[in-house]
Amino acid sequence: MPTTEQQQQNEPAPTSPDSPAQTTVSPPDPSPQQTAPLSQPLSAGLVTAIVGFTSSFVLVLSGLRAVGADPRQAVSGLFLLCLAMGGLAIWFGLRHRQPISIAWSTPGAALLVNAGQQHGGYRYAVGAFLISGLLIALTGLWGRLERWISAIPNSIATALLAGVLLPLCLAPVRAADQLPALALPAIAVWALLTRFARRWATPGALAAAMVALLIDHTHATGHSGGLLPTPTFTTPAFSAGAILSIALPLYVITMASQNIPGTAVLTHFGYQPRTRPILVGTGLATAAGAAGGLYMVNLAAISAALSAGPDAHPDRGRRWIASVTAGSLYIVFGLAAGLSAALLSAAPPLLVEAAAGLALLGTLGSALSTSLTDVQGREAAVITFAVAASGVSAFGLSSPVWALLAGLAMHLLLPARTDG
């Protein structure tokens, strides 16, 4: 997804340990790298995990339910996603000593909400997850495929993302009209925290909605099953419609809005990540867990700066502790997947969508801004956005597929403009 981390100021270059002493009377003051406590990257990892999980787990469960998963299958998907994110973050952090944060594909979950249930049921969505994972792994092994994805104009890729997000971002407005007693407190908390503590805005809104539900007492829980998650596996099935409506758009959106920006964030903070093992690892993990509902894991984009930036530690060489800490906590949160689903089962579906929409408003604004910046590609971007947001489905293909095709066709049709 388009990143806001790149707008942050570059951190100062670390001082060299080989610099000559300025005086022989007393030793030099210890540098910030030497005095920063271990608690700094540990707390950064804690914040990364809490914000990353609470800001979009609602959307993950909604996306899996939308493509046909039952409650147990959705919880299984959330559980396996957390295990994969945590395990990969720990492995990459320890292996490369870099703050490589792994996340589920938030725009991918929004895509699943738009795609809806496939003809034939959930097993065809599972097959699409498997194919998307294999495509990610193939991209790591075959550089030309990554170059093809990178060749998609950024304005079209971000317009596609914005169109996918728009229906969910309208949910808070509908909820405020239809469920004012539940939605308005959450919206108010979100607005206040956006002003004073932005990173906690979405978790705070979700907590406010849960409190409102407890006070309301009119919505009974519909959760069935235990609170401890259990992997539930579904035999994958394959169809052209699911491949074109889920697998390919999920692959394109994940590469364009997660993996490529995630690499850029790490580069921005002075790292040189090896993309090949990251793509192969996340792709194979997705393919391996697809039968259990693991739809996509990838490089973190927006939350990556929480572990990779100077706030995690003044010393670049110690920030990997933050991403490893976050990975460890994701595994713990995965064990609470059943409890998370139980809490949400008491909420009206529109309120759940509203909570997800509040979390995506910032991403929507960034995507719209980026897609319209390029004057030459503006018409193609607007067409892409309009088709993706329309929700139309024809010939077994969902609106994101038609949006990408329409945008690329218009991009090729229109001549290059030289005027402003």
315: tokens are 């010393």
Using CA atoms, how far apart are residues 30 and 311, in angstroms rounded to an integer? 18
Residue 358 has pLDDT above 70, yes or no: yes
Of 87-96, 196-205, 208-217, highest mean pLDDT: 87-96
Pick left, alpha or beta for residue 238 (phi over 0 → left; psi -120 to 50 → alpha; otherwise beta). Answer: beta
Q: What is the pLDDT of residues 117-134, one digit of tens each?
A: 888 899 999 999 999 999
What is the reported pLDDT for 416?
Answer: 59
What is the reported pLDDT for 95?
Answer: 93
pLDDT grade for 227, boundaries at 50, 70 and 90 = low
What is the reported pLDDT for 36?
Answer: 61
Closest-CA residue to 283 (of 320, 310, 316, 254): 254
The residue type at 244? L
207: tokens are 């907590």
List CB contacts of 231: < 8 A, sequence separation 6 or more: 76, 79, 80, 292
Q: Given the structure tokens 């947001």, which residue do they identify? A: 389
pLDDT grade for 387, boundaries at 50, 70 and 90 = very high
pLDDT grade for 43, boundaries at 50, 70 and 90 = confident
Residue 379 has pLDDT above 80, yes or no: yes
Percent of the chain with pLDDT over 90: 40
13: tokens are 């270059």
Q: What is the pLDDT of residues 238-277, one digit of tens each?
A: 999 899 999 999 999 899 888 988 888 888 888 988 889 9
Q: What is the pLDDT of residues 50-92, one digit of tens each?
A: 888 888 898 999 999 999 999 999 999 999 999 999 999 999 9
Q: Which residues of 385-418 are buried (b: 16+ CB within 10 A; e: fewer)?
A: bbbbbeeebeeebbbbbbbbebbeebbeeeeeee
SS3 299: strand
Using CA atoms, how far apart are residues 56 and 101, in angstroms rounded to an integer? 16
pTM of the model: 0.78
With the CA atoms of 236, 237, 240 and 241 taken in that order, what torsion angle do they form, in degrees rounded to the nearest 10?
-80
